[in-house]
A = this chain, B = another copy of it.
Amino acid sequence: MTTSHTSDDNSVNGTSGGASPAAATDEAVRAELSRLRDSIDNIDAAVVHMLAERFKCTQQVGHLKAQHQLPPADPTRESRQIARLRELAESAKLDPAFAEKLLNFIIAEVIRHHEQIAEQPLTSDGTRPA
């Protein structure tokens, strides 16, 4: 008998034969964990698709900025975005500090993309390859 406890060790911990109360509890815990993880997986798929759409927008912003020699980063816009997201997070009961860290994480990736776009050579019509 070991003191370690994993999600599939109820047969080891069961003290009586057949469907012991411990085994029934473990089964219920497993079912509940599985239900929650299915929801997490659905949410993650939604977030990935939302972010794919977000990067489509920011790629367009990047091309627009590069064509018109606007700087890749925009601190005024960013501080407005952060303030707004912190408010939204608070009303959704999400840690505002986490929402801010997440937005900074995404913005860092966006700026990296914008810099890559700005470094691409112009084509003969003065635009950059899409």
Residues of A at the B interface (CB closer than 8 Å) are 5-7, 25-26, 29, 32-33, 36-37, 39-41, 43-58, 60-61, 64, 68-70, 77, 81, 84-85, 88-89, 92-95, 98-99, 101-103, 105-106, 109
Contact = CB atoms under 8 A, between A and B. Distances in A.
B45 A88 contact: yes
A70 B5 contact: yes
Contacts of A60: 32, 36
B94 A29 contact: no
Interface SS of A by simple majority: helix
A47 B50 contact: yes
B77 A37 contact: yes
Given A5-B70, A99-B48, A109-B98, A43 B53 contact: yes
